[in-house]
Amino acid sequence: MYDPKLHFQFRQLLSEKENVKARQEYEAFSQRAFANLSRIKNLFTRLYGNQKNWETQYWLLMEDLIQTFIDRPVELRRQDMNREADRDWYLNEKLVGMMLYVDRFAGKLDDFESKVSYIKELGVNWIHLMPLLKSPEGSNDGGYAVSDYRAVDPKFGSMEELRRIADKLRGEDMLLTLDMVMNHTADEHEWAQKARSGDPYYQDFYYFFDNRSMPDWYEEGMPEVFPQSAPGNFTHIPELNKWVMTVFHNYQWDLNYRNPIVFREMMKILLFLANVGVDIIRLDAVAFTWKIPGSTSQNTEEAHVILQLMKACAEVVAPGFAFIAEAIVAPHEVIRYFGEGESYGHECEIAYNATFMALLWDAVASEDTTMLRKGAQAIPAKPDGTTWINYLRCHDDIGLGFDENILHELGKSPYHHKKYLVDYYSGNFKGSMALGAPFAFNPKTGDARISGSLAALAGLERAIKDNNSELIDLAIQKILMLHGIILSYGGLPMIYYGDEIGMGNDHSYLDDPDKSYDNRWMHRPIMDWNKADKRVDPASPEGRIYKGLQKLILLRKSSPEFADQNSLSIEDSGNPFVFSFLRWNYEGAKTLVLSNFTSSTHFVRTEHLSKLGFIPYDMRDKLSGSAPKFYHDLIEIPPYGQYWLTDKTTFDAFQAAEEMEALQSQFKWGV
Ligand code: GLC
C-alpha cells in the first residue's frame, strides 16, 4: 500500500546522506524501496510493534538500509540490476555447486585461489566456502560459532583476500556462497563478552534468566540437538549466576530476536556480507531463531517473519543476493521457508532438500525405491522462482526425518526401520559394506543420525581396503548413479568436496580434543591431493569417479529440461528396484531418468516408456550417446546402472549443445 508520509520520510533520509538523485542506481534503489516500504513496515511491526521504541528502531533500520546501499560496490549494484531482469540466474541447468572447508581443502584463502582451477575443471561454477569468519580458537563447531562477523579468521587469511576471491569468482562467472550464522554467536563475541561482564544492554541480546523457572518451561518443549555432546538447551554462567540459552553447544549463545536491535545488527551483517560479493547466502539454523516457551521453539511463525523481513530489506539494497534456508525439518515445514500466504515465494529462494537426500540413502540401504518414490512424491510443491539444493552428503550428519505415515503404509515400523538404517550405515548389519557411525544417539528417544563420507557409506572405502575389485566396481557405479540423480532431478546440485575422488572417512579428528566429541568430523576430510592427482588415471577409482562426474556435469549443462523451473514427475517404473522420474520443458525437451538401486541387473517394461509418450525403440541414452539395451520388450539396466533416456528430437537438439564438443573430445561417447 502506498503511504505518502513513509515515502517522503524515506526520500528525506536518503537525500540527507548524499545528493545522489541523478544516479541511475540510486533511482533503482528508491524504486525498490518504495515498492517494499509498506511491506517492511508491516513485517517489522508484526515482530516489534508492541514495543515502545519500535518506531525509532524502524527508522534506524531505514538508515541502515540506505547506508549499506551507499556502501555497496558499484559493480554489485549493476549486477543487481541485471539479475533483477533475469531471475533465472540461480535457477538454470548450468549451475553446479561444491561446498568445501577452505583450510581442509586447500589451507589458507591464498592457497584456495590456486585450487579454483581444479574445481572448474570438474565443471563446478558455484562454490560454498564453509564458515571462515572469526571464531574462537579451540571448539567452535567448525566455525559455526562466530566471534566477529566482519573479520575473516586469521587462520584463513583476511577480509581483503576474501573480497579478492569474490571478485575473481565473479570475473570467471562463478558464484560464491558463505554462511550467515544467524541463530547464535560464539560466547567470545563482543556482545557475549559484554553480557558476561554484566552489561544489561548486551544481556538483552541473548536469552538470559536469573533462575531455572523459565529455562525449565522452555525445556519442556525443546528437543536436544546434540544430546550426547551438549545435552540441554541452557548453560549456567557462574560469574553472573544466570542461565543463558544455548540450543547447540554451550559456547554458542542463542540470539534474542525479540530485541529489535538484534534484528538490526544481524541485518547489517547480512548486507555487509552481500557487499563483500557473496551471491547466495546460506542462512544457518533458520528454524531456531524465535523461541516460545513450552513449544519446540522451531519453525515458529515469527522465525518466518524474521526471514521475510530480511528478504524484503535485502530486496531493496541487494536484489541480486539470494537466500538459502538451512532448515533440516519435516517436508511440510521446510516448504514454508519459501514463503507462504501473503509472503508466498518471498522468503528464501533456496532450501536444502534434506528429505530427498535421506530418501536416497534409504533406497540404497533397502535396495528398494518404493519409499523413495512415495516420499519424493509427497514433498509439497514449491512456489515459482524457488528451488532446492539436491545433495548426497554435506558436512552434517544424515537425519532420518521420514514421513512416518509412508513407513506405516509400507508396513514398516518407523522405530525399527530407522534403527536398521543406522545399523546398516554403521556396518553393523550383515552384508553391509558401509563404514559410517551413529551420530547424536539420544537414549531418551532412541533416535540417532548417521555420520560418514559418501565413499564410506556407499561401500567404496571398505571394498578398496578389502581389495575386492568387483565390489569396487559396484560402489563406483553406485556413487555415479546417485550423483546422476542429483544432477538431473531439478534444483541445484551441490557436490561435497572430496566426493569427486571418493575420499573415505578421516579419523584424524579423534586426536583433537576440540573435535573428538563430534564424529561429524569423520566426513570433513583433509583433502588428499595425491589422491586428487590420480584423477587423470582412468583405471583408478579416483579417475573413474572424477571423470564420470565430470561427464555427468557436462551432460546436465547441455540439458535445458534439467533446469528447476521445468517439470518433474516421479513415476512408478513397475519395478521397485528402479527409480524413475521424467523431466521436461515447454520447448519439448524431455528426459526419463531410470536408476537401478541394486547390485543385480533389472528390467523395466517398455510399456512404462510408451505410457510416458516415448517410442521405446527410438530412444537414446544421453549418458552413453547410444540406444539403451533391450531384452525382448524389456529395457535392461545393469547393477547400479542409470539411463537418461530421451526421444530423437531432444537428442538431436542436445547434440548441438555447446558442451558437446568437450564431451566428444574427452569421453568415449556415442560409440
Ligand atoms: C547448522 C550447521 C551445523 C551446525 C549448526 C549450528 O545446522 O550445518 O554444522 O552445527 O548449524 O550452527
- Report CA(285)–ligand 1 centroid distance (Å): 6
Supply the pLDDT for residue 13: 84
| Pick from 161, 151, 111: nearest CA to 131 | 151
Q: Report yes or no: 303 and 66 within 8 Å, Cβ to Cβ.
A: no
How close is the Cα of 181 to the center of ligand 1, in Å? 8
Q: How far is the CA of 488 from the centre of ligand 1 (A)?
A: 27
Question: Is the pLDDT at 671 greater than 70, yes or no?
Answer: no
To which H or E segment does residue 551 belong? helix 541-557
Q: Is residue 59 predicted with pLDDT exceeding 80?
A: yes
Ligand 1 contact via 285 beta carbon (within 6 Å): yes
Q: Rounded to 5 degrees, what are φ and ψ at 536? A: -85, -10
Query: For the ranges 11-15, 66-70, 326-330, 344-348, which has the lowest average pLDDT?
Result: 11-15
Count CA atoms within 13 Å of residue 169 on its CB side. 30
Q: Which fold has domain 190-254?
A: Oligo-1,6-glucosidase; domain 2 (3.90.400)
- What is d(CA 647, CA 618) in angstroms, rounded to the nearest whole number? 7
Rounded to the nearest angstrom, the gap between the alpha carbon of residue 356 and the centroid of all alpha carbons in its chain is 12
**CB of 396 sitting under 6 A from ligand 1:** yes
* Mean pLDDT of all residues in 76-81: 94
pLDDT band at residue 203 using 50, 70 and 90 as cut-offs: very high
Could you give the C-alpha distances from 642 to 387, 511, 601, in angstroms and in order? Answer: 24, 41, 11
What is the Cα–Cα distance from 534 to 550, expressed in whole angstroms? 14
Residue nearest to atom 8 of ligand 1 (CA): 396
Q: What is the predicted pLDDT for the residue at 9?
A: 85
Give the helix/strand (H/E) hosting 273. Answer: helix 260-276
Closest Cα to atom 10, ligand 1: which residue?
141
Q: How far apart are CA 474 and CA 456, in angstroms?
A: 13
Tell whether the model's pLDDT for residue 195 goes beyond 70.
yes
What's residue 19's pLDDT?
A: 60
Question: How much distance in Å is there from the Cα of 141 to the middle of ligand 1?
Answer: 7
In whole angstroms, what is the distance from residue 93 CA to residue 505 CA? 31
Q: How many whole angstroms separate alpha carbon 577 and alpha carbon 599?
A: 10
Tell me whether residue 511 is exposed, middle or buried, using C-beta atoms within 10 angstroms of its C-beta: 0 to 12, 13 to 18, 19 or more: exposed
Helix axes 469-488, 541-557, angle to 10 degrees: 20
Residues making up the chain, counted from first to last: 671
Q: Is 144 in the pocket of ligand 1 (CB under 6 A)?
A: yes
In which order are the strands placed within the sheet that holds 630-631?
602-605, 634-637, 630-631
Element (H, E) at 54: helix 54-71
Q: What percent of the chain has pLDDT over 70?
A: 99
Classify residue 6 as left (phi > 0), alpha (psi -120 to 50) or beta: alpha
Q: Which residue among 283, 284, 334, 337 is best mutated to probe the pocket of ligand 1, counting the most ligand atoms within 8 A of its Cβ?
A: 284
Residues with active-site annotation: 284, 326
| pLDDT at 238 > cutoff 60 | yes
Indicate the pLDDT class of residue 666, thresholds 50, 70 and 90: confident
Distance 322 CA to ligand 1 centre (A): 20
165 pLDDT exceeds 80?
yes
Which amino acid is residue 577, in one-letter code? F
Collapse the DSSP code of 567 into the 3-class scheme (helix H, G, I; strand E, B; otherwise coil) and give the result.
Answer: strand
Identity of the residue numbered 443 = P
Separation CA 298–CA 223 (nearest Å): 9
In 10 A of CB 613, how many CB atoms? 11
Instruction: Examine the pLDDT at 365 and tell me if it is beyond 70.
Output: yes
Q: Is the pLDDT of residue 12 over 90?
A: no
CA 589 from chain centre, in angstroms, equals: 28
What are the beta bridge partners of residue 324?
282, 350
CA of 396 to the centre of ligand 1 (A): 7
- For residue 509, the 8-state DSSP code is G
pLDDT single digits (tens) 451-472:
999 999 999 999 999 999 999 9
Is pLDDT of 108 > 70? Answer: yes
Average pLDDT over residues 117-123: 97
Give CA–CA dist 339/349, Å, rounded: 9
Ligand 1 atom closest to 184 (CA)? 12
Q: What string of DSSP letters covers 337-375?
A: GG--GGGTT-S-SEEE-HHHHHHHHHHHHHT--HHHHHH
Measured by CA distance, the residue closest to atom 3 of ligand 1 is 396
- Measured distance CA(380)–CA(332) in Å, rounded: 7
Q: What one-letter code names the amino acid at 70? A: I
Contact 246, 183 (CB under 8 A): no
Alpha helices in 74-212 (DSSP H): 74-85, 102-105, 109-122, 159-171, 190-196, 200-203
Q: In this structure, which residue's CA is closest to atom 11 in ligand 1? A: 285
Q: Which of 428, 449, 427 is nearest to 440 (CA)?
A: 449
Residue 497 to residues 30, 119, 164, 380, 398, Cα–Cα distance (Å)? 41, 9, 22, 29, 16
Confirm or reject: Cβ of 181 under 6 Å from ligand 1. yes
In this structure, the residue with its CA closest to atom 4 of ligand 1 is 144
pLDDT at 1: 61
pLDDT digits (tens, 9 = 90+) for 508-559: 999 999 999 999 999 999 999 999 999 999 999 999 999 999 999 999 999 9
Residue 40 confidence class, pLDDT cut points 50, 70, 90: very high
pLDDT digits (tens, 9 = 90+) for 275-316: 999 999 999 999 999 999 999 999 999 999 999 999 999 999
pLDDT at 647: 93
Measure the CA–CA gap between 494 and 482, rounded to whole angstroms. Answer: 12
* Cβ contacts of 355 within 8 Å, gap of 6 or more: 330, 331, 334, 375, 376, 379, 401, 402, 403
Q: Is 288 in the pocket of ligand 1 (CB under 6 A)?
A: no
Residue 210's closest CA among 250, 237, 183? 237
Check pLDDT > 90 for residue 91: yes
pLDDT score of 659 more than 80 = no
391 is written with which cell numbers?
A: 545433495
Please tell me the predicted confidence (pLDDT) of residue 18.
64
3-state SS assignment for residue 140: coil
Mean pLDDT to the nearest integer, 484-493: 97
Q: How far is the centre of ligand 1, averaged over its atoms, from the C-alpha of 152 (Å)?
A: 19
Q: Which of 299, 341, 339, 340 is nearest to 323 (CA)?
A: 339
Q: Which atom of ligand 1 is nearest to the CA of 141?
A: 10
Give yes or no for residue 7 having a pLDDT over 90: no
User: Residue 284: CB within 6 Å of ligand 1?
Assistant: yes
Domain ranges of the chain: 190-254
**pLDDT confidence bin for 641, thresholds 50/70/90:** very high
Half-sphere exposure of 19 (CA within 13 A, CB side): 0
What average pLDDT does range 18-46 have in this prediction?
A: 86
Q: Please tell me which residue, 464 or 21, carries the higher pLDDT value.
A: 464
Please compute the mean of the pLDDT values over residues 36-58 and round it to a whole number: 96
Residue among 100, 144, 251, 357 to mutate when testing ligand 1 (max atoms within 8 A of CB): 144
Which segment of 527-541, 583-597, 605-619, 650-664 scores lowest on mean pLDDT? Answer: 650-664
Percentage of residues in the chain with pLDDT exceeding 90? Answer: 89
Best residue for ligand 1 mutational test, from 141, 245, 247, 393 (most atoms within 8 Å of Cβ): 141
Mean residue pLDDT across the chain: 95
Ligand 1 atom closest to the CA of 396, numbered from 1: 9
pLDDT value at residue 650: 87
Among candidate residues 421, 437, 536, 553, the one with its CA nearest the CA of residue 484: 553
Cite the beta strand spans of 205-340 per DSSP E. 208-209, 234-237, 242-245, 252-254, 280-284, 322-325
Residue 235 has pLDDT above 90, yes or no: yes
